[in-house]
Amino acid sequence: MSRKIKILMVIAAAGLAIALAPPAEKYFDIAKNLDIFASLFKEVNTHYVDEVDPKKLIETGINGMLEQLDPYTDYIPEENREAFSIQTTGQYAGVGALIGIVNNKTVITVPYKGFPAHRAGLRVGDEFVEIDGKNVEGKPTPAVSALLKGKPGTEVSLVLRRGQLKDLIKVKLMRERIKISNITHSTLLEGNVGYIKLDEFTTGAAKEVEEALDKLKKMGARQLILDLRANMGGSLFEAINIANLFLPKGREVVSTKGKSPDWNKLYTTLNTPLDLEMPVAVLTSGRTASASEIVAGALQDYDRAVLVGQKTFGKGLVQTTRQLAYNAQLKVTTAKYYIPSGRCIQALDYAHRKSNGTVERIADSLKREFSTKGGRKVFDGGGLDPDVAIPSAEYATATVELANSGLLFEYATLFCAENSNIAVQDFRLSDAAYNKFVLWVKEKRFTYESDLEKRTQELVAFAKSERYYDDLKQPLAELQGKITQYRNTDLLRLKSEIAPLLEEEIGFHLQLAEGQALVSLHRDKEMQAARKILADAEAYQKILAPR
């Protein structure tokens, strides 16, 4: 980063200290620093030896300033407004397909159920070749996405490649307004247990949950599992309305407190609940955050549900969108939220950064004790602790690197192109099918470096620096040789880890989230624990009302 840009960032960030000054001094400092910023930018733009991009330079300064706050405060220039709107509302006009790049191919990663791409039979993994006669192979995702979107009622012609099939797929789709569902899967499980997987909190989430729950109850559901794992949140109001489905009218769900009195608000349930008696288990993970934590936290604080899984993320900050000049926007953190017990579950202390700019979790010694309605002990400052803790899955380096490589996705695309008539329910790969996958991965020259290899290389380096290497050369070489042998057999040795991930990817390719759930739910540890506790009324009540 150039010195000039650093200067811009420093000047922009200088305004952070102004908040501590008296009002008159603060206003003077604001005007002073803005004047300095404007005059400095003018000098750089006029006299810097090379041409500069004014827009890029200013945005670098803005982003440098906002980075001093928290990762949720963002500047949204006019050209990014549409993407931000889609993220917050779940609505746009197009063909109804989420796209991404996998191993240098622009492919469909999710064809949204019931919309043009899905109705036309397009699948996960289909690769874009042409759009309206324009070759898009190798084009970046934003460029391909822009060609797919357009006014509702307009037509778009697509040419796609599916796996290694010889014939290309040619379709014409009519663009329409797309509303992405917040619920990716809901079903009635054995034992009259309803299951709802909620992935988003965009507009309409509460209505979708209400309709799904009502349908499940009519189908005979007597207990409910609400899956909020990996749900990073969204609308505060949708969270309040979802909590309202299980809590009486007039109950506090969340309060917010900010620097401005305008953000000090109390939110209560306004409607008649849908169910006050059904036992509920909420599945949580380390990526359950924000609005998800409001729902889970409110239900825990009122002893209305049992939380099963891992400690949640710990995001207790509220963002508000503010309009700026020239159609730009600022998403800014305006308050912290507090759930009914009075606790704020924010885990990272952005207000007290270390001198190197890093942020630490709130220390355990600073966490405070609170009580649920029934008197159970709960704590603030670090996410929600589950009532039934399930250790998170841990994977070997080879498994993680393989998943991150995109090869599981790519192989699932090839597999499903050749095996379209698979019964997804409890699908399992045969030994022969898995061995075929292993051979394919080796042909792709998949490589990685394990932590053990890195540590061994460090050990060799230390041995050399300490002048022990000549004496240890042979055993170190033998150790490295054994590690290499193990790495060559990792895909077979780690079959118990890798095969389930590939099976779930195949299930998703075939039937989206429903297919993935059908493959995985019966071996899902959190699901098994939730079903076990719901089936034992005495154990369920003992968690909520311990003696």
pLDDT in tens, 312-365: 999 999 998 899 888 889 999 999 999 999 999 898 888 878 777 788 887 777
Same domain, 381 and 402: no
Check residue 19 and give its pLDDT.
Answer: 47
Q: Does a structural domain hold residue 77? A: no
Tell me how many domains the chain contains: 4
User: CB–CB of 496/434 below 8 Å?
Assistant: no
Check residue 533 and give its pLDDT.
Answer: 97
What is the spatial distance between Cα 251 and Cα 536, in angstroms, rounded to a whole number? 28
Same domain, 386 and 408: no
Q: Does a structural domain hold residue 486? A: yes
Rg (CA), the chain: 27
What is the spatial distance between Cα 26 and Cα 114, in angstroms, rounded to a whole number? 55
User: CB–CB of 487/453 below 8 Å?
Assistant: yes
Same domain, 165 and 107: yes
Q: Does a structural domain hold residue 519? A: yes
Same domain, 359 and 465: no
Check residue 129 and give its pLDDT.
Answer: 96
Same domain, 446 and 320: no
What is the spatial distance between Cα 141 and Cα 473, in angstroms, rounded to a whole number? 49
pTM of the predicted model, to two decimals? Answer: 0.85
Check residue 432 and give its pLDDT.
Answer: 95
Q: Name the region of 290 (left: φ>0; alpha: ψ -120 to 50; beta: rest).
A: left
Q: Does a structural domain hold residue 372? A: yes
Same domain, 173 and 198: no
**Residue 11: domain span:** 3-68
Q: Does a structural domain hold residue 23? A: yes
Q: Does a structural domain hold residue 75? A: no
Q: Does a structural domain hold residue 53? A: yes
Residues 6+ positions from 308 with CB-CB distance below 8 Å: 281, 282, 283, 284, 386, 387, 388, 390, 526, 529, 530, 533
**464 membership: H or E segment, kind and range:** helix 451-465
Check residue 204 and give its pLDDT.
Answer: 95
Check residue 451 and give its pLDDT.
Answer: 80
Q: Would you tell me the crossing angle of helices 3-13 and 23-47 to the nearest 10 degrees?
A: 160
Residues 6+ positions from 189 with CB-CB distance below 8 Å: 195, 225, 521, 531
Please identify, among 162, 179, 196, the residue that sits at the C-terminal boundary of a domain.
Answer: 179
Which residue stretches of the chain have pLDDT < 50? 1-20
Same domain, 162 and 107: yes
Within 13 Å and on the Cβ side, how many CA atoms surround 428?
8
CA angle, 386 then 390 then 395, to 5°: 130
Please identify, among 335, 360, 392, the residue that sits at the C-terminal boundary of a domain.
Answer: 392
Please identify, among 332, 367, 392, the residue that sits at the C-terminal boundary of a domain.
Answer: 392
Same domain, 33 and 154: no
Same domain, 424 and 501: yes
Q: What is the domain-level CATH number for residue 169?
A: 2.30.42.10
Same domain, 153 and 233: no
Same domain, 226 and 330: yes
Same domain, 281 and 359: yes
Residue 233 token pair: 């949140």
Residue 334 token pair: 């305006």
**87 membership: H or E segment, kind and range:** helix 81-89
Residues catalogued as catalytic? 290, 301, 315
Q: Does a structural domain hold residue 503? A: yes
Check residue 23 and give its pLDDT.
Answer: 62
CA–chain centroid gap for 413, Å, is 23
What is the spatial distance between Cα 72 and Cα 350, in angstroms, rounded to a whole number? 11
What is the spatial distance between Cα 200 and Cα 157, in angstroms, rounded to a whole number? 30
| CA neighbor of 36 nearest in space, from 52, 12, 19 | 12
